[in-house]
Structure 1
Amino acid sequence: MEILLTTFGVIAMVFIVLGLGTWVFAGLVTVSVLSLLLMADFSLHRVGVTLSRILFRAGSSWELSAIPMFILMGEMIFRSDISERLFRGLEPITARIPGGILHTNIFGCTLFAAVSGSSSATTATVGKITTRELEIRGYDRRLSIGSLAGAGSLGLLIPPSIVMIVYGVQAEVSISKLFMAGVLPGLLIACLYSGYLFYQAIRFPHKAPREVNSKVSMRESAALLAPVLTLIFIVIGSIYSGIATPSEAAAVGVGAVVLMLLFERQLSWKLFTDAVQATILSSVMVCSILVCAALLSTAVGYLHIPRDLAGFIGSLELSAPALLLILALFYVILGLFLDGISITVMSLPITLPLVVQAGFDPLWFGVFLVIMVELGQITPPVGFNLFVLQGLTGEKLGAIALAAFPFFILMCVAALLISIFPQIVLVLPNLGG
């Protein structure tokens, strides 16, 4: 019973501090200090020495260097015309199938996710082209917005993924193997989304007018898609082949984008400086949260919460599916209030020992966690994809959330499928050794 009171005490402090409007990184530090002072009987001097040591160690992690690199790569692509060419290149591929160019939301987000690592960047980049074009061509607005909200979240699952890097650093799991593990689940979700659009187009033909002829030939399509496909090959190929680590591959990807934009005469000083400024803002936010979360992990460890809570839940003799269901509900609730990075770093010290004790592979749980975080991207009141789409479309947040709801359900189906068939996640990492 004591461990439950301690756990709920820490969780309550987190929600109270964040509920007061405190910045996440500052809230993590505050809760860490208060937990050690009030619950672990640390002196103020000992708290300072302990947390300063952890802060330095967490901040000097080499794996963190991949985060600003992947963000910079996505920001430069976002400011070039590569994203527009991505839409035009997908048009002849999707035009003649039921659902038509609605599928460009799915295919475009899937491809862009493979060079971005960010859900909001994927949604914004693809959405700034497709939302207006689909409306002009008479496609159902609700289906257009909903499919973009759902597919945009693939930026967290399809490698390279910033959330996966965060999880890998915290859980001490190979980031390269995590990237491999995310490929098939990401493609599975993309197929579920396209299947739903296919069904809607057949059942309600007025929602997706059939495109008889495309203005772009298949040869032109290949040329238009070449930049994105080349970047995917360079970044992901270098990781999976073992030539580069994720951090090195991120730097290689940035170099490739710079050369590509130079060759096409699109690289200007304004584009570069705007991309760097946006990268600094995003990177400081993500890395500060991650580093400060290490302080909370340390405080939670000193309070013996992971060990004692794992022992308590183990004594309940819950089945593995029951534990997974409880954790899924827990993460969905967190997703209503917190962003994906915060959810990952604050929950992992407690949840990871539980799933490992229950016999789940940490690699598999990383992908499961990312899908849970994706659900949070399309649920109000703190669904970042919903905010991005609100800015793009001018629709009310509630209307966007309703449009995204079918894709929320499909993502839950994907989580269920990887739970029943874990090899969907593990087959590629196992092949890679």
Structure 2
Amino acid sequence: MTEGMMGIIGIIGLLTLLGLRMPVGMSLLVVGFFGIWALDDFKAATAALASETFSATSSYSMSVIPLFILMGNIAGQAGYSQRLYESAHAWVGHLRGGLASATILGCASFAAVSGSSVATAVTIGKVALPEMKRYGYSDGLATDSVAAGGTLGILIPPSTGFVLYAILTEESIGKLFMAGIIPGLLLTLLFIAVIYVTTLINPQGRSGAKTTSSEKLTALWRATPLLSVIFISIGGIYFGVFTPEEAAGVGAFLILLMALFSRKIGLRDLAPILLNTVRTTAMLYLIIIGASVFGPFLTLTHIPATLGESLGLLGLGMYGTLLVIVLGYIVLGMFFDGLAMLVITLPIVFPIITGMGFDPIWFGVIAVIVVEMGLITPPVGINVFVVKGIATDVPMATIFKGVLPFWFAMAACLLILTVFPELALFLPNRMQ
């Protein structure tokens, strides 16, 4: 049996295991281990398992993951998301579709501490959905704004998607974080535009009371503690004051001090927060370990090189090849978790992208946005299921139907970034 055929069997086996709901990390580990065994020998497979596991988990850059997860968990438990939402409501709540727009802004703000789309959707959704229902927003627009806004959690730094991309491709975490800022703000504005047009075509929801300048500033001041931590940690990376690892530690420490001294959380709350952090971290570490074993297996099969040569022979050019890759991601996003999709595809796609001359930092942003699209695409659409768990009385079909305009807003963002790649590269190229 040829190496290529073994690779195809391995990929089919991986997809089968994922379809049977085996954890992503374990599926990658099993296929990678047995694939190396089949192509080489048992000694090589055990050596790869031991060495790759140690090198992956002992990497200093991996410390970013638990620290940023801890920061987001503390901020969520302390109720800082409520202040972010109230501040956004005070500034835009009186506009057409203002409450839904405030939800998007709240998601964008909380994304800057959570790094997770699911955490962002859950945290902001619990605050925003009851308010939008009280103000007469349709179930569709209310739930869709939370589901779409939650996807910003893996684009606006700190982002677990960028951390995983950096580890798999050996790119700079700091540069990827900076690359996500302007596209994240652009996508936030596109989401707000979708809400404005939707409410213009189908008027719904009462506008909030118009606030005075003093009330706006007061609401913003109440959100200042969390916003200051965001600016310190992310700004510190940009100006070269902190490494991403140090920024994660500083951010988690400052959030913890603020939450304890303001009595938003007590010492007894720390145990569940830490336990939740450990669980999420362990899940991500297992994915990275599995990817570290699966990657060498794919290399042995020569599938990445063969696929790259095949695409080159098609004569599609740079952007034709990019379109094929993006469409492939969109199809996969209909069935697989976003992080799993990155892990499976990057060993194959990344050499093709760099060989075509695309900037790897720019493509990291493109890949994460496509993963975002998968978070609201049926039939999987994890964020839609998360929102359904909060709004139990809203039919799943209603959420999926209403989220379509936000999906097209993401597609528009991809197109803009393809035409103007400097939007993603401006900040990374100017880092200290």
- The TM-score bracket by the shorter chain reads over 0.9
Residue 417 of structure 2 corresponds to 418
Separation in 2 of the partners of 1:134 and 1:339? 29
From 331, 338, 341, the equivalent of 1:340 is 338
The offset of 1:407, in angstroms, is 0.6
Residue 10 of structure 2 corresponds to 10
Amino acid at match of 1:20: L
Which residues of 2 match residues 32-431 of structure 1 at below 5 A?
Answer: 32-38=32-38, 40=39, 42-205=40-203, 207-214=204-211, 217-394=215-392, 395-431=394-430
Aligned alpha-carbon RMSD (Å): 1.7
Q: Is the 8 A contact 1:111 1:228 kept in 2?
A: no
Separation in 1 of the partners of 2:120 and 2:298? 34
Separation in 2 of the partners of 1:122 and 1:418? 24
Separation in 1 of the partners of 2:198 and 2:345? 37
Deviation digits for residues 166-191 of structure 1 (CA, Å, limit 9, x no counterpart)? 10111111111111111111111111
Amino acid at match of 1:213: K
The offset of 1:303, in angstroms, is 2.0
Amino acid at match of 2:52: I
Deviation digits for residues 327-380 of structure 1 (CA, Å, limit 9, x no counterpart)? 112111221222222111111100000111111110111000000110111123
Separation in 1 of the partners of 2:100 and 2:92? 8
- Does the C-alpha gap of structure 1 residues 191 and 4 become closer, same or farther in structure 2, counting only changes over 3 Å? farther
1:22 is paired with a residue whose SS is coil
Q: Is the 8 A contact 1:103 1:197 kept in 2?
A: yes
The offset of 1:283, in angstroms, is 0.7
Amino acid at match of 2:217: R
2:426 is paired with a residue whose SS is helix
2:210 is paired with a residue whose SS is coil
Separation in 2 of the partners of 1:142 and 1:111? 23
Q: Is the 8 A contact 1:189 1:414 kept in 2?
A: yes
The offset of 1:111, in angstroms, is 0.7
Amino acid at match of 2:406: F
Separation in 1 of the partners of 2:198 and 2:297? 50
2:380 is paired with a residue whose SS is coil
User: Percent identity at matched positions?
Assistant: 35
Separation in 2 of the partners of 1:343 and 1:270? 37
The offset of 1:4, in angstroms, is 6.3
Separation in 2 of the partners of 1:321 and 1:284? 37
Deviates more, 1:401-410 or 1:279-288: 401-410
Amino acid at match of 1:380: P
- The runs of 5 or more residues in structure 2 that have no matched partner are none
Separation in 2 of the partners of 1:193 and 1:401? 16
Deviates more, 1:9-18 or 1:292-301: 9-18
Separation in 1 of the partners of 2:431 and 2:210? 42
Separation in 2 of the partners of 1:385 and 1:271? 27
Deviates more, 1:86-95 or 1:361-370: 86-95
Separation in 2 of the partners of 1:212 and 1:22? 50
Q: Is the 8 A contact 1:69 1:254 kept in 2?
A: yes
Deviation digits for residues 114-139 of structure 1 (CA, Å, limit 9, x no counterpart)? 11111111111111100001101112
Deviates more, 1:117-126 or 1:212-221: 212-221
1:217 is paired with a residue whose SS is helix
- Does the C-alpha gap of structure 1 residues 354 and 92 become closer, same or farther in structure 2, counting only changes over 3 Å? same
Amino acid at match of 1:282: T
Deviation digits for residues 268-303 of structure 1 (CA, Å, limit 9, x no counterpart)? 123211111111111100111111111000111122
The offset of 1:6, in angstroms, is 5.0
TM-score, with structure 1 as normaliser: 0.95
Amino acid at match of 1:343: M
TM-score, with structure 2 as normaliser: 0.95
The offset of 1:5, in angstroms, is 4.3
Q: Is the 8 A contact 1:90 1:225 kept in 2?
A: no
- The runs of 5 or more residues in structure 1 that have no matched partner are none
The offset of 1:96, in angstroms, is 2.5
